[in-house]
Amino acid sequence: MHFALNAHLLSPQPGYRQAGVSEYIDRIMRQLWTITPDDRWTVYAPPGVTRALLDAPAHVALHPSRLPTTNPLARIAWEQIVAPAVLRHDRPAVLLCPLNVVPLLAPCPTVVTVHDLAFLRFNLHRPAKRRYLSLLTRLSVRHAAHVITVSEFTRREVLELLNVPPDRVTAVPNGRKAEFAPVDEATIERFRQQKGLPPRFLLSVGTLEPRKNIATLIRAYAQARDRLDLPLLIGGGKGWLYDEIFALVRDLGLEQDVRFIGFIPRDELQVYYAAARAFVYPSLYEGFGLPLLEAMAVGTPVVASDAGASIEVAGDAALIVPATDAARMADALMRVTDDAALRDEMRAKGLAQARRFSWERAAQETLGVLRRVAR
């Protein structure tokens, strides 16, 4: 069978753009290739993506675009103007589109993945972008032969907000990085010395924007600071309205205790998790929550909010607190910091919970959807 994949959101350059959807594309794509050696794949990619970069096997045809599709307007032009003609020429059985939007005039069946609908719940973007996302996502899920969501939570969001029939929406959870596993103490200690990290710290990772709820975490930390006696490190690039986060740290007198360490590169993230006393994820809304899975996979105890898919991903392995309750969050931070027996229990539960998620399983279930649509 011949499948195609729109990989224009794949980032060939190291940096924060390789997180999120780009990583999802990379992981699911490589697994799909592995489990379908007798099928053909055509991958439509942005300029700069090469066969060597992807380790593409012989049964994969890679078609980098001539348009600069890392630019959103060029990508939209490719999807809605160029893609229909390209698909008529290549004639795949199904086109997989990994983020919300399909070519509306595609001559073949399409399957679209929806990661979350935060842009419908929150004012996350400029008005023009929000209108585009809202309109094209609604049209795409109605046009697509099937919709994949990355969690049961997002599946319910699609059913509620986009009015798609339940039999056309399938939840396929994301996987964990196979290379994410517990790290030995010698490696952690070398990393601490290299990065100048304190011997004990709390870690939170996420883009600095209101949806990640960093402000509530900072208020919780302020309440517990004297009892905790360890700093809070916050990793992540600047999103929007981040000045309010920095101002809150200043207003609460936490400049020496709360440290913003910026975007954490892929190859360092595992050891940051492993070096932390606990990982805190206070998000107001999550379509999945990969950082939760990453932290559990290395054996780090997790404190998470009760918002979105966080409970679904963390299961009973994390301390779950109301997303906007700083007092409850402060109590959870103190418990996980003070109680060694609790940390050991959470570590074991977290490792077991993380093993439930794999990219191989995600690829197998995605392939099942593609084959059903093709038939």
Q: Please state, as a whole number, how many other Cβ atoms lie within 10 Å of the Cβ of residue 167.
A: 7
More confident residue, 123 or 152: 152
CB 362 within 8 A of CB 26: no
Q: Please state, as a whole number, how many other Cβ atoms lie within 10 Å of the Cβ of residue 214.
A: 28
Cα 51 off chain centre by: 24
Which of 3, 91, 5 is CA-nearest to residue 54?
Answer: 5
pLDDT, average across residues 55-76: 94
Q: What is the pLDDT of residues 287-345, one digit of tens each?
A: 999 999 999 999 999 999 999 999 999 999 999 999 999 999 999 999 999 999 999 99
Rounded to two decimals, the pTM is: 0.91
pLDDT, average across residues 135-146: 96
CB 297 within 8 A of CB 177: yes
Helix 214-228 vs helix 326-338: angle between axes, to the nearest 10 degrees? 40
Which amino acid, 281? Answer: Y
Which secondary structure element, helix H or strand E, spans residue 109, and what is its range? none
Distance CA 328, CA 322 (A): 7
- pLDDT reported for residue 125: 61
Q: List the Cα angle 98/100/104 in 5-degree steps.
A: 100
pLDDT at 197 over 50: yes
The residues, ordered by sequence, that sit 6+ positions from 185 with a Cβ below 8 Å of its Cβ are: none
pLDDT, average across residues 87-104: 97
- Report residue 222's pLDDT band, with 50, 70 and 90 as the boundaries: very high
Which amino acid, 340? Answer: A
- pLDDT reported for residue 228: 94
Distance CA 24, CA 176 (A): 10
User: Alpha helices of the chain — where are they, by DSSP H?
Assistant: 21-35, 51-54, 72-77, 83-90, 118-121, 127-143, 152-162, 185-195, 214-228, 243-251, 266-275, 290-297, 310-314, 326-338, 340-354, 359-374
- pLDDT reported for residue 16: 42
pLDDT at 135 over 90: yes
Average pLDDT, the chain: 93
Strands, DSSP E only, in 206-313?
232-235, 258-262, 278-281, 302-305
Which of 4, 3, 6 is CA-nearest to residue 22?
Answer: 6
CB 104 within 8 A of CB 76: no
Q: What is the pLDDT of residues 230-286, one digit of tens each?
A: 999 999 988 878 889 999 999 999 999 999 999 998 889 999 999 999 999 999 999
Strand order in the sheet with 302-305: 258-262, 232-235, 202-205, 278-281, 302-305, 319-321
Specify the range with the lowest mean pLDDT, choosing from 113-127, 181-195, 251-265: 113-127
End-to-end CA distance of the chain: 10
